[in-house]
């Protein structure tokens, strides 16, 4: 019954993968759903990483004062931009 053993092995492997994916899915907290594009606020924010000097411009956000992005494991510093 060599073929039977292969079928059983494949079935078990499949089951293990299914369980693994299920565990991973339940562990990973799903990111919040992005709001529809119409609800996004147009913002013009500039952030600088104090540690490495990288700068990032945020052009759209869900809120008027969004949380600063992170870089080098630290919150980036907002830069007040002169118009
Ligand atoms: Zn950085």
**61, 66, 78 from 50: Cα distances, Å:** 22, 18, 10
* Residue 83: predicted pLDDT: 59
Question: 69 CA distance to ligand 1 centroid (A)?
Answer: 10
Question: 47 CA distance to ligand 1 centroid (A)?
Answer: 11
Question: 46 CA distance to ligand 1 centroid (A)?
Answer: 14
Residues 6 or more apart from 81 whose CB is under 8 A from it? 44, 45, 46
For the range 43-47, what are the long-range contacts, defined as Cβ-Cβ under 8 Å and sequence gap of 24 or more?
44/81, 45/78, 45/81, 46/78, 46/79, 46/81, 47/76, 47/77, 47/78, 47/79
- Provide mean pLDDT across the span 20-45: 81
Question: 71 CA distance to ligand 1 centroid (A)?
Answer: 4
Which tokens in the block code for residue 57?
């411009």
Q: What is the pLDDT of residues 35-72, one digit of tens each?
A: 676 778 888 899 999 999 999 999 988 888 888 999 99
Give domain limits for the chain.
Answer: 1-30, 37-79
- Provide mean pLDDT across the span 69-81: 91
With a cut of 90, say whether residue 82 has pLDDT above it.
no
Helix (H, G, I), strand (E, B) or coil at 2: helix
pTM: 0.51
Question: 73 CA distance to ligand 1 centroid (A)?
Answer: 8
Spatial separation of the C-alpha atoms in residues 72 and 48, rounded to whole Å: 11
């Amino acid at each position: 019954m060599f073929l039977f053993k292969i079928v059983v092995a494949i079935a078990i492997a499949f089951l293990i993968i299914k369980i693994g994916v299920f565990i991973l899915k339940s562990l990973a907290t799903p990111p919040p759903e992005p709001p529809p594009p119409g609800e996004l606020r147009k913002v013009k924010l500039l952030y600088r990483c104090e540690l490495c000097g990288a700068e990032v411009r945020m052009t759209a956000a869900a809120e008027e004062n969004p949380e600063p992005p992170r870089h080098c494991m630290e919150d980036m510093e907002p830069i007040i931009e002169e118009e």
